[in-house]
Structure 1
Amino acid sequence: MPPRIQRHEKIIALVREHNFMPIEQLARELDVTPQTIRRDINQLCEENILRRYHGGATLGEGLENEELTTAKARRQNEKLHIADLIVEHIPDNASLFLSIGSTIEAVAMSLVKKRKGLRIITNNIHVAAIVSGRTDYTVIITSGVVRPIDGGVTGVATVDFINQFKTDYAILSAADVDEDGSLLDFDYKEVSVMQAMMENARRCYLGVDRHKFGRKALVRMSSITEFDAVFTDRQPSESMRKRLQDAGVKWFIAESEESNSD
């Protein structure tokens, strides 16, 4: 197989694994120049396999729907356990911000089954669809631009809309949890929306599965110590445990077969 084809396959595999890969990191992984990676990405973009995005590459339209479906199916059980644990800490008749992501969609499904009288503000059209069937809920969806890949609504108008409200809870996720406690994402517009939710909520809960740790996203959202509680399916490292204890952040573990094997 020609080296260029082998390189293309490795690039696609890395992007599949991480959802986003910076050009510089791909160059290091494959031991080639950034210029070579740019040429490879350009060709894969022409074939609709990848898409250029903020100095790196994400899945193109030819693969992203398949990848999203596969990822959701593979990790749905873990996310549902985390979602149920979060909902245990949400009372009836509460007001909430719900953000973007499949974990938050799982939270919405659990809320519908277990809580009544909620007031929900979301920038996630899938969450809005899930919770809108409850006649005792008030559901508000933000203004802004809809992102086709996941139904997220982002942009300056979204932030301005959120700043009009004050809720009891913000339930958020993150693309990446770094070992130093940084919470990161791939899209600065989405980050701005989540920061606005945090600023306008009395309590902030973070829901992240084990696959979100150490993914090397680029855009800083906040620190894990800015949340009141973290809900996940893995034990914290010793350094993370100390950081959380010093900040008074609670760490809740949703038990699963994988979490028990840590």
Structure 2
Amino acid sequence: MYAQERQEHILRAARTAGRVEVAELATELDVAPETIRKDLTALERGGVVRRVHGGAIPVERLGFEPAVAARDVVLTAEKERIAKAAIAELPEDGAVLIDAGTTTARLADLMPGDRELTIVTNALPLASKLAAFPNLNVLLIGGRVRSRTLASVDAWAQQALAGLYVDVCLLATNGVSVERGLTTPDPTEAAVKAAMVKAARRVVLLADHSKVGHDHLARFADLDDVDLLITDSGLDERTAGELAAAGPRVVRV
């Protein structure tokens, strides 16, 4: 197992159990405890865990929101598959709203070059990449830019969205559960996401399995506001069925 694969396994275990122990991970992965400690140090530098005595805790349990650079290197294969599946939801022409997120960001490298689309986004990196496509009309939503997510938020962004109506919204989230719906740590991002949901004819949620079952501070949508949830095969069938019963069609890739 390569170091990146091992670290992704450790992070998944931490998010599932709420904590990981060095000794248990060393036995499970058949490596030296010092190797696990180096992995935990790397994950802490990436901003996704905090070291504690004998192990580590995911930052979500401590009330922190990982920066986009830290989240971008986690579950990369799953995010790639989800983004590829999302491309099939794009119309042949028309308007598409794309939320800021590490999964939605991957759409920039997969966007078809044969469709005349208007892309509306609040994600600065995504807008910058898509602007190079001659067939796309890219509209960047203005507002205050959050350094942690590189997303435009606050009143300007909400006002712009209030006057729009698009064919489909490709939405991101930090957490999704049957009990609480869609949640994110920051209220200003939640307000923009809620406006995106209202501005779209169809809402497609892109969320890897690590987001399922986790709730954050600010709720911005119910599950029945979502038409389609695209996730990865790491989500078990029973949980997928529970989510589908609450509203959206669920596709695991």
Q: TM-score under structure 1 normalisation?
A: 0.69
Correspondence 1:21 to 2:62: yes
**5+ unaligned residues in a row in structure 1: which ranges?**
1-7, 23-56, 255-262
Q: CA deviation at 1:236?
A: 5.3
Look up the match of 2:52. Answer: 10
The one-character-per-residue Cα deviations of 1:159-180 (angstroms, maximum 9, x if unpaired) are 0011111100111011011242
Look up the match of 1:171. Answer: 170
Q: CA deviation at 1:106?
A: 1.1
C-alpha distance in structure 2 between counterparts of 1:84 and 1:140, whole Å: 22
Q: CA deviation at 1:69?
A: 3.7
- Report the 3-state secondary structure (helix = DSSP H, G, I; strand = E; otherwise coil) of the residue aligned with 1:202: strand
Q: 1:132 to 1:195 in 2, by over 3 A?
A: same
Q: 1:166 to 1:157 in 2, by over 3 A?
A: same
- Report the 3-state secondary structure (helix = DSSP H, G, I; strand = E; otherwise coil) of the residue aligned with 1:74: coil
Equivalent pairs counted in the alignment come to 202
Q: Which has the higher helix share?
A: 1
Q: 8 Å contact 1:208–1:231 — kept in the other structure?
A: yes
Q: Following TM superposition, where does structure 1 have runs of at least 4 consecutive aligned residues deviating by more than 4 angstroms?
A: none
C-alpha distance in structure 2 between counterparts of 1:181 and 1:88, whole Å: 28
Look up the match of 1:189. Answer: 188
Q: 1:216 to 1:227 in 2, by over 3 A?
A: closer
**5+ unaligned residues in a row in structure 2: which ranges?**
1-49
C-alpha distance in structure 2 between counterparts of 1:185 and 1:93, whole Å: 31
- Report the 3-state secondary structure (helix = DSSP H, G, I; strand = E; otherwise coil) of the residue aligned with 1:102: coil
C-alpha distance in structure 2 between counterparts of 1:96 and 1:124, whole Å: 13
C-alpha distance in structure 2 between counterparts of 1:226 and 1:154, whole Å: 21
Q: 1:215 to 1:142 in 2, by over 3 A?
A: same
The one-character-per-residue Cα deviations of 1:122-164 (angstroms, maximum 9, x if unpaired) are 1000110121111111100011001112211100110001111
CA-atom RMSD, angstroms? 2.4
Look up the match of 2:91. Answer: 91
Look up the match of 1:118. Answer: 117
Q: 1:233 to 1:134 in 2, by over 3 A?
A: same
> 1:94 is matched by which residue type in structure 2?
G
- Report the 3-state secondary structure (helix = DSSP H, G, I; strand = E; otherwise coil) of the residue aligned with 2:169: strand
C-alpha distance in structure 2 between counterparts of 1:140 and 1:243, whole Å: 32
Q: TM-score under structure 2 normalisation?
A: 0.72
Q: 1:115 to 1:109 in 2, by over 3 A?
A: farther
C-alpha distance in structure 2 between counterparts of 1:243 and 1:216, whole Å: 14
Correspondence 1:157 to 2:156: yes
Correspondence 1:208 to 2:210: no
Q: 1:145 to 1:136 in 2, by over 3 A?
A: same
C-alpha distance in structure 2 between counterparts of 1:118 and 1:166, whole Å: 14
Q: CA deviation at 1:250?
A: 1.2
